[in-house]
Amino acid sequence: MRSILFFASCLLFISSTAFSQDFRGLDKSPLDIAYYPDGFAHDRKPGEGPVMKVIYSRPQLNGRTMLGDKEPYGKVWRTGANEATEVKVFQDVMIGGKKLSAGTYSLFTIPNEDKWTVIFSSDLDYWGAYRYNEENDVLRAEASVSSLDESVEAFTIQFDEGVMQMAWGETMAELPIEMN
């Protein structure tokens, strides 16, 4: 009888701890990574590394108008969702005629209808752009803006032939990047 009671107690304890674990649900703005050159993970030869890696979260439109509305024009934006977007530069590059040294930066933008100001900041590891400090800007460059024929539901960063493309909704900003 004692062994049955002991076994039942152990079973009750194990089952209660197994079900007491609460994990948060899936992130509504999933994390993504873009490499320059594109396709780094599977196309590179041994010893060839990426020039740049961008780690960002992908907010969804979900029927909303974001740029110019929820994310107003002329205001600093974290360029994604959740944590500030992070850029790792593996070798010196030229952006907008200015040198950006190898290192790790937060990426912010100031979207406008006709151009975006792209900001590389030395501030790292914080949520959003609420503590953005212009004094920590390392480089600012202008990105051209164009309209897309089809709407991009999830904010996307990708590289195409030396150009960083940032697209959301029917807007795409393009920032040329030159390797030294």
User: What is the value of pTM for the model shown?
Assistant: 0.81
CA neighbours closer than 13 Å in the CB half-sphere of residue 140: 11
Q: What percent of the chain has pLDDT over 90?
A: 61
Burial of 82 per CB tally in 10 Å (0-12, 13-18, 19+): middle
What would you report as the CA-atom Rg of the chain, rounded to the nearest whole angstrom?
22
The pLDDT of residue 68:
67
pLDDT at 8 over 60: no
Q: What percent of the chain has pLDDT over 70?
A: 81
Order the strands of the 98-100 sheet from edge to edge. Answer: 31-36, 52-57, 85-89, 103-111, 115-121, 137-159, 163-179, 93-95, 98-100
The pLDDT of residue 111:
95
Q: Where are the beta strands (DSSP E) in 37-162?
A: 52-57, 85-89, 93-95, 98-100, 103-111, 115-121, 137-159
- The 8-class DSSP code of residue 83 comes to B
pLDDT tens track for 128-141: 888 899 999 999 99
pLDDT tens track for 91-128: 999 998 999 999 999 999 999 999 999 999 999 998 88
pLDDT tens track for 42-70: 565 666 788 999 999 999 988 877 776 77
The pLDDT of residue 136:
96
Q: Which residues, 6 or more positions from 33, have their beta carbon under 8 angstroms from its beta carbon? A: 53, 54, 55, 56
